[in-house]
Chains A and B, each alone.
Chain A
Amino acid sequence: GQQLNQSPQSMFIQEGEDVSMNCTSSSIFNTWLWYKQDPGEGPVLLIALYKAGELTSNGRLTAQFGITRKDSFLNISASIPSDVGIYFCAGRGGATNKLIFGTGTLLAVQP
């Protein structure tokens, strides 16, 4: 099925570093969602974005809905070991309004 382009595919960083990941689409979306998936669990919603240009924070996480409505980014500041996991973007828009998932970013944090 259709997937969003998400980058980077993986990141290996030191504790305390900031992280940035993004998703791009060829289609216009009216919703962008960011999820985190830990091993053995389902994706957990981190941030939901509903308006172009919207910038939303959740603790150390900040996400933005791109002005073109075709992209979104997620920043994590001052990373900690528990930030380890796979981060997925997901977008929704168009006639079907289905949720389409990005390919995921694997984040590893070295203490």
Chain B
Amino acid sequence: SAVISQKPSRDICQRGTSLTIQCQVDSQVTMMFWYRQQPGQSLTLIATANQGSEATYESGFVIDKFPISRPNLTFSTLTVSNMSPEDSSIYLCSVEDLRRGGNQPQHFGDGTRLSIL
């Protein structure tokens, strides 16, 4: 499966600031996703990162708070804007390559552990 690298792996930020998380894949993939995992919780999909167009956001997540870029088939960024302590979570990038066939599993990066003071 693809090797997925996320940067930074962790950060501690001040409230009101913004942080951009990068996700780099070692091969081209059709689909890239961003998830949030709050402390002790399961994974919740934030959005699907679409190459060359605006991301598709899930209910409860908006572009102003979580702007996403996907300039090509191997790279995406997620920005967490105007952070508050409630944004303290693990943010995970995942990929899925539909060129291998219609039904493919998603593979995840190691996540970015974000703490907001």
Contact = CB atoms under 8 A, between A and B. Distances in A.
Contact of B45 (A42, A50, A99, A102): A99
B43 interface: yes
A101 B110 contact: no
Interface residues of B, number: 22
B111 A1 contact: no
Contact of B43 (A41, A43, A45): A43
Contacts of A88: 42-43
Interface string B97-114: 000000101111111010
B36 to A, nearest CB: 10
Contact of A41 (B42, B60, B107, B111): B111
Nearest to B60: A1
A45 B58 CA distance: 23
A98 B109 contact: no
10 contacts: A33-B105, A41-B110, A42-B4, A43-B92, A45-B105, A45-B106, A50-B103, A101-B43, A103-B42, A104-B42
